[in-house]
């Protein structure tokens, strides 16, 4: 019996190792971090492509700790996926470390996969030194949902006339709210701060390319948001502001473009979407990111598989309306210019050139460290748990230490999927 157990264990380990090495040579192993409901949407896209009976079928593998697994297989040189989805902020570091292969051969073989056929902000997120390393799937990021009934209750529907709600407009409701009502929540607060840095003309790096966290623009952004909190207009520290919005007690929820799906499931919640609040109506940004198709460096990927990857990406360029079902801003121009796409709430963000220009993707090499610092400290500063000057100084030290260490704490960095778990 013990002998049989050892045989079964050996067999099981062999199966696992075989699966990790890519399995069928006529299958393209495709890794994504899509652990939410959007994973099912990607499954549907993959199934639709495989139904065309391509020479190389796609095997979609969802990994909750994908980046950790990527570094593991890259270090070992075994089990590297043929195709992956990575976030825009990972591209510079991956390229600098030699972990990505250019898309050159795929672009040459499929001329319709070009910058004119995708949202430029998403396309450019994968360009490093004039070389294209990725093909975009989407843009996703900050959105601000509004409760139509509360806007009417407080007679402020006109705030949306220019599609931008300002700090001054929100502050005008100080002392005017019924108990238990709030003007806004602090959902995805760090993303809101990133948007304000752009509104103020700031940046997250200095002229020498070093991380710039303790800056006048960062301080001004946090001070302005803290003023809203101090005025009693923001949901209390520690309260789930996302659920407070769904309960009908918050005028504005600053969560993600994908959150329309969750809000739509709440019976009786009459809501719409607009831009993240700003200082002036003429200058507004929505912090964004992008899911990008990429090929990790691998000696095992054949020319034939690269051609199969190109066929798959070309198919998605024309057939990714399913991805709009996931609440994402699809990157393909063919899709977003389709009349059907107008049925999706996130089409607001590409409805005009000015709206599309508002989508800002950070591609600074050390952005992940800064995002990690803001996630750790921003709520404490906004809600007065620590002083802003103290918090900014600590954030700068935190980021500088991360850069000097040269390693990203993959277990503590919050990915887009984790930030969107509330959906």
| Pairwise CA distance, residues 82 & 389, whole Å | 46
- Local confidence band at 378 (pLDDT 50, 70, 90 cut-offs): very high
| Pairwise CA distance, residues 192 & 190, whole Å | 5
| Pairwise CA distance, residues 66 & 328, whole Å | 20
* Within this chain, domains 26-140+289-351 and 142-287+363-413 share the same CATH topology: yes
- Please compute, for residue 222, the number of CA atoms within 13 A of its CA located in the half-sphere on the CB side: 25
| Pairwise CA distance, residues 111 & 120, whole Å | 16
| Pairwise CA distance, residues 73 & 79, whole Å | 6
Q: Can you give the pLDDT at residue 407?
A: 53
The CATH code of the domain at 26-140+289-351 is: 3.40.190.10
- Local confidence band at 411 (pLDDT 50, 70, 90 cut-offs): very low
Average of per-residue pLDDT across 109-137: 98
Would strands 329-330 and 182-184 be described as parallel, antiparallel, or unpaired?
Answer: unpaired
Q: Can you give the pLDDT at residue 190?
A: 97
pLDDT greater than 80 at residue 65: yes
- Local confidence band at 2 (pLDDT 50, 70, 90 cut-offs): very low
Return phi, psi of residue 421, to 5°.
-65, -20
Percent above pLDDT 90 for the chain:
89
Q: Can you give the pLDDT at residue 419?
A: 47
Q: Can you give the pLDDT at residue 13?
A: 35
> In the numeric block, which tokens belong to residue 164?
């931008």
Average of per-residue pLDDT across 114-132: 98
Q: How far apart, in Å, do the first and last CA atoms of the chain sit?
A: 49
Which CATH number does the domain 142-287+363-413 belong to among 3.40.50.720, 3.40.50.11060, 3.40.190.10, 2.30.29.30?
3.40.190.10
Q: Are 393 and 218 in contact (CB under 8 A)?
A: no
Strand ranges, E, within 193-258: 250-253
Q: What is the DSSP string of 286-331?
A: EEEE-EEEEEE--SS--HHHHHHHHHHHHHHHHS-HHHHTTT-EE-
What dihedral angle (degrees, nearest 10) is formed by the CA atoms of 412, 386, 205, 224? 120
Q: Can you give the pLDDT at residue 416?
A: 52
The model scores a pTM over 0.75: yes
pLDDT greater than 80 at residue 254: yes
For all residues of the chain together, what is the average pLDDT? 92
Q: Name beta bridge partners: 144.
A: 274
pLDDT greater than 60 at residue 71: yes
Which of 85, 34, 99, 24 is closest to 59 using CA atoms? 24
In the chain, where the domains are located: 26-140+289-351, 142-287+363-413
Contacts of 108 (CB under 8 A, 6+ apart): none
| Pairwise CA distance, residues 108 & 84, whole Å | 20
Average of per-residue pLDDT across 57-79: 95
| Pairwise CA distance, residues 358 & 377, whole Å | 26
Q: Which residue has the tokens 């590409």?
A: 350
pLDDT greater than 70 at residue 396: yes
């Amino acid at each position: 019996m013990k002998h049989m157990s050892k045989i079964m264990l050996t067999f099981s380990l062999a199966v696992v190792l075989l699966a990790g090495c890519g399995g069928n040579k006529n299958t393209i192993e495709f890794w994504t971090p899509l652990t939410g409901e959007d994973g099912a949407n990607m499954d549907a896209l993959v199934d639709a492509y495989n139904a065309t009976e391509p020479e190389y079928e796609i095997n979609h593998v969802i990994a909750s700790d994908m980046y950790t697994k990527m570094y593991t297989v890259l270090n070992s040189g075994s089990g590297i996926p043929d195709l992956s989805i990575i976030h825009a902020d990972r591209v510079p570091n991956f390229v600098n470390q030699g972990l990505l292969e250019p898309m050159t051969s795929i672009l040459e073989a499929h001329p319709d996969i070009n910058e004119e056929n995708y949202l430029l902000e998403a396309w450019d997120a994968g360009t490093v030194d004039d070389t294209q390393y990725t093909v975009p799937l989407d843009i996703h990021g900050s959105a601000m949902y509004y409760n139509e009934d509360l806007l009417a209750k407080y007679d402020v529907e006109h705030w949306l006339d220019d599609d931008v709600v300002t700090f001054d407009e929100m502050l005008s409701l100080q002392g005017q709210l019924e108990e238990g009502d709030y003007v806004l929540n602090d959902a995805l607060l760090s993303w809101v701060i990133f948007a304000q840095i752009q509104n103020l003309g700031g940046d997250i790096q200095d002229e020498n390319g070093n991380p710039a966290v303790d800056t006048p623009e960062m301080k001004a952004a946090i001070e302005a948001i803290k003023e809203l909190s101090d005025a009693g207009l923001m949901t209390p520290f520690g309260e789930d502001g996302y659920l407070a919005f769904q309960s009908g007690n918050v005028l504005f929820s600053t969560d993600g473009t994908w959150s329309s799906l969750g809000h739509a499931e709440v019976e009786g919640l009459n809501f719409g979407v607009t831009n993240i609040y700003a200082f002036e109506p003429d200058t507004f940004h929505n912090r964004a990111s992008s899911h990008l198709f990429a090929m990790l460096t691998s000696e095992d990927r054949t020319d034939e598989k690269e051609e199969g990857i190109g066929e798959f990406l070309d198919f998605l360029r024309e057939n990714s309306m399913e991805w709009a079902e996931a609440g994402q801003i699809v990157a393909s121009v063919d899709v977003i210019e389709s009349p059907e796409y107008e049925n999706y709430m996130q089409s607001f963000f590409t409805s005009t050139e000015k709206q599309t220009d508002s989508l800002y993707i950070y591609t600074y090499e050390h952005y992940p460290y800064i995002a990690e610092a803001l996630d750790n400290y921003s709520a404490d500063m906004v809600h007065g748990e620590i002083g802003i000057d103290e918090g900014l100084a600590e954030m700068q030290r935190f980021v500088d230490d991360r850069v000097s260490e040269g390693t990203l704490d993959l277990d503590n960095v919050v990915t887009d999927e984790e930030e969107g778990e509330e959906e």
